[in-house]
């Protein structure tokens, strides 16, 4: 089955409450197995070509240090000139869109799932997701977490260890938990 034809997949990417279906579970298990294998490849060029093949769309000059993790891959779109340091996690139950010239420090996490607040619903294992969008020329420092529904504008720097709970406009440096604007970051002329 083409995953996009799966009703649970459609509910998932539409942000509706969903339960993981057999096709989604099969895809996750297949991707998990391939990621474990690909992340062990010492040759950077071969490793990165194989990792790219698991994602929806990846531009030129993609480089990820071992280990890169994600849930499905089919919801990840990455522009040109992307770098991910060690142990980056992309929970792509929702769509993740990353612009051009983006760098992630080690242990950066992008998390699209939104687990229910109501414990009765949470016990069913149903969840919703919200997409994450990262603009161009963004640098996310080590250990930072980007939460569901966040959009980061162009030329944003996220300080190491920050927890980004809401969206930010272009040309700012954000730090803290929850992240807040530290100052403007206007491009040099």
Reduced to 3 states (helix: H, G, I; strand: E, B; else coil), residue 189 is coil
**Which residues are the active-site residues?**
115
Q: The whole model's pTM is what? A: 0.96
Whole-number percent of the chain with pLDDT over 90? 97
* DSSP helix/strand/coil, 156: coil
Q: What is the DSSP letter of 108?
A: -
pLDDT given for residue 29 in this prediction: 97
Query: At 127, is the pLDDT very low, low, confident or very high (cuts 50, 70, 90)?
Result: very high
C-alpha 155/C-alpha 173 separation (Å) is 9
Query: Is the bond preceding residue 178 a cis peptide, omega within 30 degrees?
Result: yes
3 state DSSP class of 121: helix
Three-state DSSP string of 10-62: HHHHCCCCECCCHHHHHHHHHHHHHHHHHCCCCCHHHHHHHHHHCCCEECCCE
What whole-number percentage of the chain has pLDDT above 70? 99
For residue 172, the cross-strand partners are 184
Q: Which residue has the tokens 């490793």?
A: 47
């Amino acid at each position: 089955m083409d995953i996009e034809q799966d009703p649970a997949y459609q509910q998932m990417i539409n942000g509706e409450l969903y339960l993981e279906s057999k096709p989604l579970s099969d895809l996750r298990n297949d991707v998990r197995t391939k990621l474990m294998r690909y992340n062990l490849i010492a040759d950077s060029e071969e490793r990165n070509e194989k990792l790219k093949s698991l994602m929806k769309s990846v531009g030129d000059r993609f480089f990820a240090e071992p280990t890169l993790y994600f849930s499905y891959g089919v919801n990840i779109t990455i522009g040109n000139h992307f770098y991910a340091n060690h142990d980056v996690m992309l929970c792509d139950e929702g769509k993740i869109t990353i612009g051009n010239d983006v760098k992630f420090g080690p242990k950066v996490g992008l998390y699209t799932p939104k687990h229910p607040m109501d414990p009765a619903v949470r016990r069913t294992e149903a969840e919703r997701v919200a997409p994450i969008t990262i603009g161009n020329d963004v640098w996310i420092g080590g250990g930072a977490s980007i939460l569901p529904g966040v959009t980061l504008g162009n030329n944003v720097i996220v300080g190491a260890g920050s927890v980004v709970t809401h969206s930010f406009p272009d040309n700012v440096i954000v730090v803290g938990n929850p992240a807040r604007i530290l100052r403007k970051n206007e491009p040099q002329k």
